[in-house]
Structure 1
Amino acid sequence: MNKKWETYNPQWIVDIAKEQIPDKPEIIAALSKCIKAKIESRAYIYFVNGDNPNEPNSEWQFEENIMLEDKKNGTIVLDVLKENKIGGVEFLKYLK
């Protein structure tokens, strides 16, 4: 199935990040820029193109994961890319 990019409001996850990782303002700022998303499934939302990860000229250049906790969505894993871009978010409770 070919998913389309759509407008996204990241405020809910920005608020969680402000509360749980206040020492990472660069990540909070990056999350606030996640206004276009490709919803792959209930378990994963892309904010950048994930084609050819970590290959030359790919937008997806992985740096680290950051875990957040949310009452509604459970454990959320942020895929942080180089230059403090957010590649996407994974919702562990929806993984099969």
Structure 2
Amino acid sequence: MADLSCGFTPQILAAIARVQAPEYPWLPHALEDCGAGAWESAAYVRYISAQNAHAAGAEWQFETNVVLEHPHFGTVIVEVLTGHRIGGLEFLSRI
């Protein structure tokens, strides 16, 4: 199994989000704006710190998950935070 931490960018998912999640028209742009992220495991990359999650003033304020199906990466769970920000991506095939 290839190491996603080398060469994967969330921008790869933007085109799929346009087709599979049209109810979230901002999602492709949010994915395109993500940086490299921090790989916490072979299955999860975090873009925004979850430190003090949901506490007043914390960056991590969860809103919803969006499920995308990628032909190579399989099922990808996009963690969406308030303000249409991407908190992290989870690759179910790698769990």
TM-score range, shorter-chain basis?
0.7 to 0.9
Q: Unaligned regions of 5+ residues in structure 1, if any?
A: 1-7
Shift of 1:19: 2.2
TM-score (norm 2): 0.83
Which residue of structure 2 aligns with residue 9 of structure 1?
A: 9
RMSD, matched Cα: 1.4
SS in 1 for 2:27: helix
TM-score (norm 1): 0.82
Distance in 2 separating the partners of 1:82 and 1:11: 20
Superposed, which structure 2 residues align to 1:6-85 within 5 Å? 9-85=9-85
Counterpart amino acid of residue 72 in structure 1: H
How many pairs are equivalent? 88
Shift of 1:33: 0.8
Identity within the alignment, %: 38
